[in-house]
């Protein structure tokens, strides 16, 4: 089964890259924002950062989506312990959409209709623990256009061999074309 999580801070492009990657790989894209309980959305709309206690039910819903397999999920997965929770669904590859605060804040300023205010961006960067070499993960810069980002992710997924978890099992872990 293929389980891909597009991760990163708010405004890094999880939704737009997820939709483009979905078209390239023929896998459904699920936006983790849609899985948040109403109370979480209300807090974020008010500019209140979520606590771990707020996040656990949401992460469990995200893990449930991943457990069904063959899916691309957009989920911030900012901390290692959050990614560990998601890995409970099975083998997952994390793709960190990585960009500077300046670039992401410019993109967030252009977004319309999203509940995540720019005032929470600093708390997202403060919480971010980029994936480590022992995780099945890789980072992709978000400077290029969305189509180029998605094509690079698809290329790297098809090549496989990311992180130590796949190499320790002797697997390449690629995604079929």
Q: Three-state SS string across the chain, please? A: CCEEEEECCCCCCHHHHHHHHHHHHCCCEEEHHHHCCHHHHHHHHCCCCCCHHHHHHHHHHHHHHHHCCCEEEECCCCCHHHHHHHHCCCCCEEEEEECCHHHHHHHHHHCCCCCCCHHHHHHHHHHCCCCCCCCCEEEEECCCCHHHHHHHHHHHHHHCCCHHHHHHCCCCCCCCC
Per-residue model confidence (pLDDT) at position 168: 31
- Residue ranges, the chain, pLDDT below 50: 164-174, 176-177
Percent of the chain predicted with pLDDT > 90: 62
Per-residue model confidence (pLDDT) at position 134: 92
pTM as predicted: 0.85
pLDDT of 22-55, one tens digit each?
A: 999 999 999 998 999 999 888 888 888 888 899 9
Per-residue model confidence (pLDDT) at position 56: 95
Domains of the chain, with CATH numbers?
3-167 (3.40.50.300)
Per-residue model confidence (pLDDT) at position 61: 96
């Amino acid at each position: 089964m293929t389980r891909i999580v597009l991760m990163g801070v708010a405004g890094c492009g999880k939704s737009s890259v997820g939709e483009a990657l979905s078209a390239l790989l023929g896998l459904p894209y699920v936006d983790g924002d849609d899985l948040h309980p109403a109370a979480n959305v209300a807090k974020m709309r008010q500019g209140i950062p979520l606590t771990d206690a707020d996040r656990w039910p949401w992460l469990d819903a995200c893990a449930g989506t991943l457990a069904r397999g063959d899916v691309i999920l957009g989920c911030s997965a900012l901390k290692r312990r959050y990614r560990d929770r998601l890995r409970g669904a099975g083998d997952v590859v994390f793709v960190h959409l990585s960009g500077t605060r300046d670039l992401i804040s410019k993109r967030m300023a252009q977004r319309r209709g999203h509940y995540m205010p720019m005032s929470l961006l600093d708390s997202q960067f403060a919480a971010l623990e980029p994936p480590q070499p022992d995780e099945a993960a890789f980072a992709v810069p978000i400077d290029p256009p969305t189509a180029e980002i998605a094509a690079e992710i698809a290329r790297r997924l098809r090549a496989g061999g990311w992180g130590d978890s796949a190499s320790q099992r002797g697997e390449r872990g690629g995604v079929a074309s």
